Amino acid sequence: MRCILVLVLLISLNGYSQWKSYTISPRGDTLNCIDQKDKKQGPWTHRYETVRGEPGYEEEGFYKDNRKEGEWRMFSLSGDLVGVENYKWGFKDGICKYYSMHGDLRLEQSWKALNPDKEYDTLVVEDIDKLESYRTVVVKNEGAALKHGPWKYYNAEDGSLTRTEIYVLGKMQNDGMATKAPSTEKKTIDKPKEVLDFEKKNSGKKKVKLRDGSTGG
**How many Cβ atoms sit within 10 Å of the Cβ of residue 26?**
9
What is the pLDDT at residue 81? 97
What is the pLDDT at residue 217? 44
What is the pLDDT at residue 15? 52
Please provide the average confidence, as pLDDT, over all residues in the chain.
Answer: 82
If one compares 208 and 83, the residue with the highest pLDDT of the two is: 83
Q: Mind listing the pLDDT tens digit for each residue in 48-68? A: 999 998 999 999 999 999 999
Q: Where are the alpha helices (DSSP H) in the chain?
A: 2-17, 193-201
CA separation for the pair 143, 124 (Å, rounded): 19
Q: Name which of 77, 75, 96 is nearest 199 in CA terms.
A: 75
| 176 within domain boundaries | yes
Q: Mind listing the pLDDT tens digit for each residue in 97-140? A: 999 988 999 999 999 999 999 888 888 877 666 667 788 888 88
**How many Cβ atoms sit within 10 Å of the Cβ of residue 62?**
16
Res. 80: pLDDT tops 50? yes
pLDDT, mean of residues 22-36: 91
CA separation for the pair 66, 190 (Å, rounded): 37
| 120 within domain boundaries | no
Which pTM value belongs to this model?
0.74
| 199 within domain boundaries | yes
Domain that holds residue 196: 20-114+142-212
| 9 within domain boundaries | no
| 148 within domain boundaries | yes
DSSP 8-class letter at 209? -
pLDDT, mean of residues 163-172: 94
| 107 within domain boundaries | yes
Res. 170: pLDDT tops 90? yes
| 160 within domain boundaries | yes
| 12 within domain boundaries | no
CA separation for the pair 65, 37 (Å, rounded): 9
H-run or E-run covering 71: strand 67-76
Res. 3: pLDDT tops 60? no
Split into its structural domains, the chain has a count of 1
CA separation for the pair 70, 47 (Å, rounded): 19
